């Protein structure tokens, strides 16, 4: 096995006295794991930062063997970790991606979307500028892993207009007329997830509540649930920023 590719660092775990096991997302070869010799050294620690863009070279004698990995830094996002909100966002999106994606399976749409979220966090002066992209990324994660929501037509009437809610059981949209009498049992559907564009904070928080419900129910189970505290920290900081 020999692979050389640009990749987004997703997670770094100490291994042995000085090394590290790194998981990084490539565009064409999916998530790849590798052992970086000296990965905890002063020289490599700033390179092996989640959200950084690297050029990686993975080498292994067999497909089953953990590959050795050498890295070169292409672009660092380390300065973003000095600010609580951007740091929480980067922690969450990289951790959930590492926890959920199988190794070696290509997800080009997720790779592009993750790069977009990270770039938005880097470029936006305020959290509202990137929070919409983050909600959309969570929605795409659900879809790419087989748990996509149906936000096209109403589960009750079959109509495709005035969609305002989502069934927490089926994940299908419900219109205002179809939801009469059941509003308290449904999840709000923010307009930006149907119509696109920017969003106000109320809609963003509703979007996070919506995606969080289905991530928690369908994907973040077992060992993957270990990343939930990272999302809780992010949502808590966003709520405090709004208050």
- CATH number at 51 reads 2.40.50.140
Instruction: Assess whether 6 and 69 both reside in one domain.
Output: yes
- Of 46 and 17, the structure prediction assigns the larger pLDDT to 46
Residues 98 and 43 in one domain: no
Q: For the residues of 130-167, what is the DSSP string, one character each?
A: HHHHHHHHHHHHHHHTT---B-SS-TTT---SSEEEE-
User: What whole-number distance in Å separates Cα of residue 9 and Cα of residue 33?
Assistant: 10
Whose CA is closest to 7, among 48, 38, 64?
A: 48
Using 50, 70 and 90 to split pLDDT, how confident is the model at 55?
very high
Residues 71 and 105 grouped into a single domain: no
Domain end point (choices 19, 44, 76): 76
**pLDDT digits 0-9 by tens, 74-95:** 999 999 999 999 999 999 999 9
- Domain end call among 34, 60, 76: 76
Same domain, residue pair 68 and 140 = no
Q: What dihedral angle (degrees, nearest 10) is formed by the CA atoms of 23, 26, 28, 29?
A: -10
The average pLDDT across 129-151 equals 96
The pLDDT assigned to 63 comes to 77
Residue 167 in domain = no
Distance separating alpha carbons of residues 145 and 31, to the nearest angstrom = 14
Phi, psi for 232 (deg, rounded to 5): -60, -40
Determine the structural domain holding residue 40 and report its residue range: 1-76
Evaluate whether residue 45 is within a structural domain.
Answer: yes
Strand-pair partners of 25: 8, 31
Query: Would you give the DSSP letter of residue 80?
Result: G
Q: Is residue 117 part of a domain?
A: yes
| 90: nearest Cα among 104, 76, 105, 106 | 76
Please report how the helices 128-144 and 84-100 are oriented relative to each other, as an axis angle in degrees rounded to 10: 10
Q: What is the pLDDT of residue 136?
A: 97
Neighbours of 16 (CB within 10 A): 11
50 lies in the same domain as 89: no
Q: Are residues 29 and 14 in the same domain?
A: yes
Whether residue 184 is contained in a domain is answered as no
Q: Are 90 and 71 in contact (CB under 8 A)?
A: no
Task: Return the minimum-mean-pLDDT range out of 31-35, 111-115, 198-202.
Answer: 198-202
Least confident of 11-20, 181-190, 229-238: 11-20
**Same domain for 106 and 218?**
yes
- Do residue 70 and residue 102 come from a single domain? no
- The rounded distance, in Å, linking the Cα atoms of 106 and 240 is 37
Q: Are residues 217 and 127 in the same domain?
A: yes
- 150 dihedral zone (left: phi>0; alpha: psi -120 to 50; beta): beta
- The verdict on 122 and 194 lying in the same domain is yes
Q: Please, which pLDDT band fits residue 133 given cuts at 50, 70 and 90?
A: very high
pLDDT digits 0-9 by tens, 185-204: 999 999 999 998 889 999 99
Which residue, of 76, 96, 124, is where some domain finishes? 76
Residue 14, Cβ density class (10 Å: 0-12 exposed, 13-18 middle, ≥19 buried) = exposed
Split into its structural domains, the chain has a count of: 2
Same domain, 30 and 97: no
The mean-pLDDT minimum among 209-213, 232-236, 238-242 falls in: 238-242
| Same-domain status, 125 and 241 | yes
């Amino acid at each position: 096995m020999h692979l050389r590719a640009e990749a987004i660092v997703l997670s770094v775990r100490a291994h042995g006295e000085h090394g590290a096991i790194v998981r990084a997302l490539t565009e064409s070869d999916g998530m790849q794991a590798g052992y970086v010799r000296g990965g905890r050294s002063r020289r490599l620690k700033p390179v092996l930062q989640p959200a950084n863009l690297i050029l990686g070279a993975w080498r292994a004698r067999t497909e089953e063997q953990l590959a050795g990995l050498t890295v070169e830094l292409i672009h660092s996002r380390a300065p973003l970790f000095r600010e609580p909100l951007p740091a929480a966002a980067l922690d969450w999106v990289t951790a959930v991606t590492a926890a959920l994606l199988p190794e070696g399976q290509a997800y080009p749409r997720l790779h592009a979307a993750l790069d977009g979220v990270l770039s938005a966090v880097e470029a936006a002066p305020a959290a509202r500028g990137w929070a919409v992209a983050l909600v959309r990324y969570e929605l795409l994660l659900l879809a790419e892993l087989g748990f996509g929501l149906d936000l096209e037509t109403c589960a009750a009437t079959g109509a495709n207009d005035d969609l305002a809610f989502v069934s927490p059981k089926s994940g299908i949209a419900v219109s205002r007329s179809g939801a009469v009498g059941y509003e308290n049992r449904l999840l709000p559907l923010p307009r930006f997830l149907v119509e696109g564009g920017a969003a106000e904070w109320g809609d963003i928080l509703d979007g996070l509540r919506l995606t969080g419900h289905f991530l928690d129910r369908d994907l973040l189970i077992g060992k993957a649930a270990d990343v939930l505290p990272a999302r809780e920290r992010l949502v808590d900081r966003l709520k405090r920023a709004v208050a």
